[in-house]
Structure 1
């Protein structure tokens, strides 16, 4: 694991340093993901013991794929599935201009991927729109990363329910109130 961490670009290592308490959860999810992939490969007859990747060519393809994912792989370890504007435009049929308007109005959570690029957690979209209530959460928790982390984890302020799930059930006022309390008590 040390080799993997030291081979990361500086900004990824900095992200790990700031992730602190998130790292154990991310490692757990990674191990579970690898176990699921091995299980799936065993079912398909593609797993060779001692060679989890299944061949040198396959290994090179996987490395190239992960390198092309860049920060998204690291981000997805804590944020879940994130997508860029092209995916949103092509797959969700949401024009980029609409996405930019939503972003300016804080109606959608955009996580910085680079200096000028952002990715969007896919779970916030329902029926081609961001769920109602995100702007109220962002008004209380201004940092998009903090807001997203709060939205996707069970909250004691909401009786252990996940705020994003409540937003999807049209409970925006309840979630906004909890976000306001959380913002005041977490400082």
Structure 2
């Protein structure tokens, strides 16, 4: 299951519902700017579906095993406690804001387990794509290089190399569009006002 880029339905920073608002707008609650080209990625969790099927099979099959062999009661209790722990962790993770990376008109927004940062385009020097040969395949490492020299690893947000390439493409297009708009604004600002007769 790939992490698909999606247009925001809620604000990345404060989770405000953006439905019904214009495509090029700011969040009314926190002021984060977004437009029609804003894209977000959430990491996929490929283990969720097999784990859910395993739990379903366990709940159907384990009572039959205990009924036929009472000696398996200890195994059934241990598995039931494992499932309970799994459900508690899922409920806890559901209440937390998820891991997210977004490219929007003002820069790149990153929300991880322990941080939430927004880097504007002026503070971003480049996106480094490092392609290395891994043990079984080629690995694409992504790093956001800031003008301060700090490198932010982005590889944990993407499971598949196609997602990394898609992020790099959207990043490049949005950054070029921002640079073109900034240079157009700079040209307009540099033009002296025409003298009035």
Pair in the same fold by TM > 0.5 = no
- Whichever structure has more strand as a proportion of its residues is 2
Which gives a bigger RCO, structure 1 or 2 (Cα 8 Å, sep 6+)?
2
TM-score (norm 2): 0.28
TM-score (norm 1): 0.29
Larger radius of gyration: 2
- Whichever structure has more helix as a proportion of its residues is 1
